[in-house]
Amino acid sequence: MTPDDADATGRALAERALELPELARARTVAAYVSVGSEPGTRALLDALRARSVRVLLPALLPDNDLDWGEYTGPDSLARVQHGRKTALFEPAGARLGPDAVTGADVVLLPGLAVDARGMRLGRGGGSYDRVLARLERAGVRPRLVVLLYDTEVVAHVPAEAHDKPVHAVVTPSGVRRFPGA
């Protein structure tokens, strides 16, 4: 994808996501800054902030768990290299702790694919599996939304017993809901 194509795709993804009633009502959204070939999230992050939504972004911990910090605009990000892994853009400010995500009304999740059941295929590090388990232990049920390209919505992905379906997938062309979530 050219940089212009990537920007256009990110803007389309933001437009579709902002149509979600869950995001219209949300006071706090746990999100992430896209990296590499992931669909762009920067336009969505800025649009949420413009709506006065509190946006939490993850910071990768050494054990692959996630801490959280607040996104207050592009200047609040720091590029962090985690060993040989891809560099991530993380919140530069104060850390709020791994449990901060339990206060989110919506959790936006990265992924490689989602299937017809709403099962999300992650990158294999287990970071978001820990987040989802933390939400369950806390007894909270934020809306879970994965952000993907249209071609990443597939018929079937492998799932394990601990995997949970997401409520919806947002792609640049639209939204698909999963009633079994």
Long-range contacts formed by 69-77: CB under 8 A, 24+ apart: 69/93, 69/94, 69/95, 69/96, 70/94, 70/96, 71/31, 71/45, 73/46, 73/49, 74/42, 74/46, 77/33
pLDDT tens track for 143-173 = 999 999 999 999 999 988 888 899 999 999 9
79 is in an annotated binding site: no
Question: 87: which strand partners?
Answer: none
CA distance linking residue 30 with residue 45, whole number of Å: 10
128 is in an annotated binding site: yes
136 is in an annotated binding site: no
174 is in an annotated binding site: no
- What percentage of the chain has pLDDT greater than the value 90? 80
Q: What six digits make up the tokens of 79?
A: 């590029």
Please state the pTM of the whole predicted model.
0.94
Contact call for residues 47 and 18 (beta carbons, < 8 A)? yes
CA distance linking residue 39 with residue 10, whole number of Å: 6
177 is in an annotated binding site: no
CATH superfamily, with its number, for domain 3-177:
NagB/RpiA/CoA transferase-like (3.40.50.10420)
Higher pLDDT, 83 or 142: 142
pLDDT tens track for 77-105 = 999 998 877 789 999 999 999 999 999 99
Question: How many CA atoms lie within 13 Å of 116's alpha carbon, on the beta-carbon side?
Answer: 2
Query: Which residue ranges make up each domain of the chain?
Result: 3-177
Q: What is the mean pLDDT of residues 11-21?
A: 94
33 is in an annotated binding site: yes
Q: What six digits make up the tokens of 96?
A: 């709020």
18 is in an annotated binding site: no
54 is in an annotated binding site: no
121 is in an annotated binding site: yes
122 is in an annotated binding site: yes
Question: Mean pLDDT in the chain?
Answer: 93
Contact call for residues 142 and 131 (beta carbons, < 8 A)? no
Question: 29: which strand partners?
Answer: 55, 106
